Amino acid sequence: MTLTNKAVENAKPRDKAYKLADSDGMYLYVTTKGQRYWRLDYRYEGRRKTLALGVYPDVSLKKAREKRGAARTQLADGIDPSAQKKAEKLSSAGKESFETIAREWFEKFSPNWAPTHSSKIKIRLEQDVYPYAGKRPINNLAAPEILQLLRRIESRGALETAHRVRQHIGQVMRYAVATGRAERDPTQDLRGALPPTKVKHHGSITDPKRIGALLRALDGYKGQHITRCALKLTPLVFVRPGELRTAEWAEIDLEAAEWRIPAHKMKMKQPHIVPLSTQAVEVLKDIHPLTGHGKYLFPSIRTWKRPMSENTVNAALRRMGYEPGDMTAHGFRSMASTLLNEQGWHRDAIERQLAHAERNDVRAAYNYAEHMPERRKMMQAWSDYLDGLKKGGKIIPIGKQG
């Protein structure tokens, strides 16, 4: 017995999904949530296959039967309806705009990115790409057109941004290729088309006397207390600025004197342990009465639901008279790396504490706690050394001598 419009309309969900047969292999598939899908079962070259005909009520019983008839005609001509449908989709796929696919790519992958990274990519695409190439069919977007877009960015003195945008466009194009909506990635043809960027070094102070003066300036900072504590903690832990500003109280164990940073916050996507010296613990105990009831150690002054701005520490350094070429928030890492190596600490312990890339990804996943006894000793000795520099006396670092 074939289906009627009334039977289709009255098809209600049950405890299990079920089928209502029409004829010639077509049926209505009803899910436990009440969705109703038209499907056609058929055989092609001895294999059983299923073709989706649409969703009711968008596709009526009459329309579903027309689609079934068209599919049967294709079968009679030796054509697989499913393969034909896929081919038609691919042939029209190139008509989708770059912006449509770029936004799809962004929504799919951005949840795995750090918020600052995600925000930068979104801004670059919306300001530098979509206005000029967003409406272009992605399969028609060619290398010369992309280069013109990149040179527009370069012309305003943002060469590094131009290189980043080329990288983002390439990622979107490769996603389009993988999903069958573009034939190739034209950004591969642009290698060498832009001038190389100059390597920028983060300003850093490594002279012991100047470090002492800097530490005294940090102690005397007259701004917000939250910012002052962030400034005092930075040289003691020498993590990346983004890792410091997004630090959460849930990651801190004051009794164990340990800060465990989860993998998703780390640049290398591996968990990281920061042994806390007695001086670092003192800073945390100082700020705990102020921010300990919230999520972040260093919340924004505007809303405690967000961490402090990524520019806060650098802006504070500028107010104290330190220019970008002299000292930056990131420069505390270079300071520690340089002096700890000079003092003779085990290089692998230093690199592990800096959370630099491990060449072997499998090894990195399991060895984030490697060299921990020496790292604990090193972090305390480093804080003691900084205390000595701050007092201005002649300092003999406690390294591996003797």
- Give 127's Cβ-side CA count (13 Å radius): 11
Closest CA to 124 of 91, 159, 162: 162
From the candidates 166, 240, 352, 376, which is the catalytic residue?
240
Residues in Cβ contact with 57 at an 8 Å cutoff, skipping those fewer than 6 apart = 36
Active-site annotation holder among 333, 352, 375, 390:
333
Given 285, 305, 366, 391, the catalytic residue: 366
Helical H segments across 156-308, by residue range: 159-178, 208-219, 225-237, 241-245, 278-291
- Please say if 296 is a catalytic residue: no
Q: Of the listed 267, 269, 346, 377, which one is catalytic?
A: 267
366 catalytically annotated: yes
CB–CB of 205/331 below 8 Å? yes
Q: Which of the residues 103, 122, 269, 356 is marked catalytic?
A: 356
Beta strand pairing call for 18-21 and 26-30: antiparallel
240 catalytic? Reply is: yes
Active-site entry in 330, 352, 375, 376: 330
The reply to whether 293 belongs to the active site is: no
Of 203, 287, 201, 199, nearest in space to 244 by CA: 287
β-strand partners of 379: none
**Which amino acid appears at position 106 of this protein?**
F
Q: What φ, ψ does residue 396 adopt, rounded to 5°?
A: -110, 105
User: DSSP class of residue 248?
Assistant: B
By residue count, the chain amounts to 402
DSSP SS3 for 51: strand
C-alpha dist (Å) from residue 104 to 31, 110, 143:
27, 10, 22
Q: Using CA atoms, how far apart are residues 384 and 380, in angstroms rounded to an integer?
A: 6
Residues recognised as catalytic? 240, 267, 330, 333, 356, 366
